[in-house]
A and B are shown apart, each in its own frame.
Chain A
Amino acid sequence: MKNKVRALRMRQNLAQGQLAAAMGVSRQTINSIENERYTPSLPLALALARYFGITVEEMFDDQGL
């Protein structure tokens, strides 16, 4: 699923590992989300949105589904 995770992370100068540690997942999971290979669970999507201070709808684009 298309998302803004990479853009938001880069804007805050965060490494994938740092975001992963904050979310309690592996760095590879963050990488997979950014590359649209993995769609996160609802709890993780909510945690990511909360972390960046935006809504889930703003972070993820489901129009392609």
Chain B
Amino acid sequence: MTKDCSRGITRSKWFLPAFSLVLGLVMLAVSWLGGSLGQGLISLAVLAGFGLIVLLAGRSETVRGLRGDGRDERFAQIDLRATALSGLAVIVALIVAWLVATARGQSGSPYGWLLAIAGLTYLLAVAWFRWRG
């Protein structure tokens, strides 16, 4: 039986709200560095608002699962499938964008690079989990 070291963190109801807030602050800092403070403040407001809604939302299984405090092995499996599906959607979109860019005589960058990262990550992950398993 495996021991999940991340359980304590991801099962706290503060995980997703705190992550949203930190991401918002990072975006604020990056936007400020890039000279667009207004955009950074909007990003921070949107992400902090999302975090607050998730924190204060009801006790439905979906909300609690996303938030972290209602996460059990079944929700972890749901999360894994949803993550795989969203990754697949991004990869399909990248392939289409790369094909369209190439057909237009463009270099296909950055789609090709992103696809290469996805492919390499997949191969390394398969090798790692096969070695671990």
Interface residues of A (CB under 8 A from B): 24-26, 28-29, 32, 38, 40-44
Contacts and interface: CB of A to CB of B under 8 A. Distances in A.
A42 B73 contact: no
A29 B72 contact: yes
Interface of B: 1, 61, 64-65, 70, 72-75
B120 to A, nearest CB: 31
Instruction: Give the 7 A-B CB pairs with smallest separation, nearest first.
Output: A25-B72, A29-B74, A28-B61, A41-B73, A26-B72, A38-B74, A43-B1
A29 to B, nearest CB: 4
B74 A26 contact: yes
Contacts of A28: 61, 74
Contact of A44 (B64, B73, B75): B73
B1 A29 contact: no
